[in-house]
Amino acid sequence: MSDPALTTVRDLVEHQARTRPHAVFALATETGQTLHFGELAHSCRHVTALLKAHGAQLGDTVSLVMPNGLQTIQLLLGAMHGGFTVNPVNLLSQPEQMRYVLTHSDCSVVCVAPEWEQRVRNLLTTIERPVTVMVCDPNTRTPSDIAELDAGGAPPAPDTVALLMYTSGTTGVPKGVMLTQANLAANAQAIGAEHALTHDDRVLAVLPLYHINAFAVTMLAPLATGGSLAVPPKFSAARFWAQASATRCTWINVVPTMISYLLEGETPVRAQTALIRFCRSASAALAPEHHRAFEDKFGIGIIETMGLTETAAPSFSNPLDSSRRKLGSVGRASGCEAGVVDANLTPVPIGATGELVIRGPNVMRGYYKNIEATRASFTPDGWLRTGDLGHVDADGFFFVTGRIKELIIKGGENIAPREIDEALLAHPAVLEAAAVGIPDKHYGQEIMVCVVLREGAVCSEDQLRDFCALHLGRFKTPKVLRFVGKLPRGPSGKVQRLKLLELPG
């Protein structure tokens, strides 16, 4: 349950600073440097003063081109605390995409890590408005030489836009999702309640903060619950368990790609995982085979969840109680309401496939400077259309089978790409697989699958095709099988299926 008195990021920061000022909020895994809640509140005021000193006005957008680090966290929280809108920029963006985001966001200040300074300055030469560049080391503390500056200003209102995060869609230009202070505060508290997080919990924060999963789940949820996060520079499968153990983490938050890499690595000694209560998986569908393999190998239960940038991360979650989870399900609605509708936006019966829709305090205000896309994303009665296909069972658990735009329609039959993926992942030689529809003059569409083999594995197209015929039937057996070194993914680890069509033949 959300505390009705805590409706902004500033409220969350100040509440912890009052009640637990000397408790650790963030810990750098490489240096051991810590940031306490009292220090965080002080640094938030420093950041506000610093941004004002560089010409930013309250309500302005502040972009960040920075990897994870203690100062990155302080800049993000400090700007929101002071009433600015933060825009974390995806570091995996191509230059043209990054230029578009910096232009479209209307940022007045951009904070950049030293290694990004020249590239960002080059991009800014094509932008007509003035943009101030602040060079900030992500791994140092916020400067203390601005204490005499006046942070000033009234607290931001709950309906103030706090986060402008651009989606990494598979086609077209990115859309800027506007999330308010209230959106973020509500879902941070909902995540904490869903996973029963307390001030004793610590998460290993390996996901990049420019993605909504890390932003809301590994940064804001500990802030809301008085917990903490251990911050490595980046994800390392080889160092993952040692980092979690050394920093005494009690839960981990990963994406399916990371699970796949961890499964390929060594099994840690039990002492390294003894404190970990659960593993949370999100941002993309987790294959049941990988789900079971992870739990068997590491002895840690996985809570599969699902959310969108448009819902401030999770909107579905499996229960904390492992006996009530359902394999293959993204769980029940969490912190919001959810339903399933047909093409006419009419609710469908239990078990019937349709589009998932969401309504609640975590749902975005809309897309920045894109009224048409905002209007198209909501039903007339205010439900957010997710674009995800799936169904709900009698127990209220939702199952996602694919994206509407990625659905394969072969000879009039709807085929969920995930069904093809999961069949191939059951083959011992296959590490990753992703299906996509390709044009076919007879069926309208046929099935193509890109496959990544396990290291050292040998397998032919014919062998995989025979395997598919056995497990899927002839009709759903892929017409085209291609072996690739890796699958194209967005920053969250989600496979960008439509980009499979662009891979060289």
Query: What pLDDT score does 448 carry?
Result: 96
- Whether residue 398 lies inside any domain: the answer is no
Mean pLDDT calculated for residue range 246-266: 93
How far is residue 216 from each of residues 122, 165, 203, 337, 362, measured CA to CA in Å? 31, 12, 12, 19, 11
Query: What pLDDT score does 146 carry?
Result: 46
For residues 436 and 338, state if they share a domain.
no
What is the side-by-side strand order in the sheet with 366-367? 132-135, 109-112, 61-65, 85-88, 161-166, 176-180, 366-367
pLDDT band at 505 (very low <50, low <70, confident <90, very high): low
Helix (H, G, I), strand (E, B) or coil at 449: strand
Q: What is the DSSP letter of 38?
A: H
Given a cut of 70, is residue 491 above it in pLDDT? no
- Whether residue 403 lies inside any domain: the answer is no
Going 438 to 441 to 446 to 450, the CA torsion angle's sign is: negative
Given a cut of 80, is residue 112 above it in pLDDT? yes
- Whether residue 156 lies inside any domain: the answer is yes
Helix (H) or strand (E) holding 5: none
Domain boundary among 366, 392, 418: 392
Query: What pLDDT score does 489 carry?
Result: 85
Query: What pLDDT score does 105 carry?
Result: 98
Given a cut of 80, is residue 143 above it in pLDDT? no
- Whether residue 166 lies inside any domain: the answer is yes
DSSP letters spanning 299-351 = ---EEEEEEEGGGTEEEEE--SSGGG--TT--BEE-SSEEEEE-TTS-B--TT
For residues 64 and 166, state if they share a domain.
yes
pLDDT band at 199 (very low <50, low <70, confident <90, very high): very high
Parallel, antiparallel, or unpaired: how do β-strands 202-204 and 228-231 relate?
A: parallel
pLDDT: is 363 or 441 the higher one? Answer: 363
Query: What pLDDT score does 94 carry?
Result: 79
For residues 162 and 209, state if they share a domain.
yes
Tell me the per-residue pLDDT of 346-401, one tens digit each, with 9 for 90 and over.
Answer: 999 999 999 999 999 999 999 999 999 999 999 999 999 999 999 999 999 999 98
For residues 318 and 184, state if they share a domain.
yes
Query: The domain that contains 479 carries what CATH number?
Result: 3.30.300.30
Given a cut of 80, is residue 95 above it in pLDDT? yes
pLDDT band at 171 (very low <50, low <70, confident <90, very high): very low
pLDDT band at 301 (very low <50, low <70, confident <90, very high): very high
- Number of domains the chain is built from: 2
For residues 373 and 434, state if they share a domain.
no
pLDDT: is 412 or 429 the higher one? Answer: 429
Q: Which domain holds residue 450?
A: 408-502
Q: What is the DSSP letter of 378?
A: B
Q: What is the DSSP letter of 254?
A: E
In angstroms, the CA 61 to CA 76 distance is 11
Tell me the per-residue pLDDT of 122-139, one tens digit each, with 9 for 90 and over.
Answer: 999 999 999 999 999 999
Query: What pLDDT score does 256 carry?
Result: 86
Mean pLDDT over the full length of the chain:
93
For residues 124 and 229, state if they share a domain.
yes
Helix (H) or strand (E) holding 391: strand 384-392
Tell me the per-residue pLDDT of 38-92, one tens digit each, with 9 for 90 and over.
Answer: 999 999 999 999 999 999 999 999 999 999 999 999 999 999 999 999 999 999 8
Helix (H) or strand (E) holding 165: strand 161-166
Tell me the per-residue pLDDT of 272-299, one tens digit each, with 9 for 90 and over.
Answer: 999 999 999 998 778 888 999 999 999 9
**% residues pLDDT > 70 (the chain):** 96
